[in-house]
């Protein structure tokens, strides 16, 4: 897979997304989206992110 640039996500937003993932009352749709954004912020290719979180692209 090709190298992709990381999605720019400020630290405050990363912390908020991490909190969504950890919260036991978060809806799974929100958790999945938060995981996608955080992995994209790490520069992981979208195909790999989709495989990791179990979604189709």
pLDDT per residue of the chain (57 residues) written in tens, 0 to 9: 667 889 999 999 999 999 999 999 999 999 999 999 999 999 999 999 999 999 998
CA distances from 45 to 12, 19, 23, 26, 38 (A): 23, 23, 26, 25, 12
State the pTM of this model: 0.90
Question: CA-based diameter of the chain, in Å?
Answer: 36
The two three-digit tokens of residue 41, written as one number: 């912020």
Interatomic CA distance for residues 3 and 12, integer angstroms: 25
Can you give the pLDDT at residue 1? 60
Can you give the pLDDT at residue 3? 73
């Amino acid at each position: 897979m090709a190298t992709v640039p990381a999605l720019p996500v400020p630290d405050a937003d990363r912390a908020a997304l991490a909190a969504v993932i950890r919260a036991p009352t978060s809806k799974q749709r929100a958790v999945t989206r938060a995981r996608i954004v955080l992995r994209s912020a790490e520069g992981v290719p979208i195909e790999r992110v989709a495989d990791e979180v179990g979604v189709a692209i």
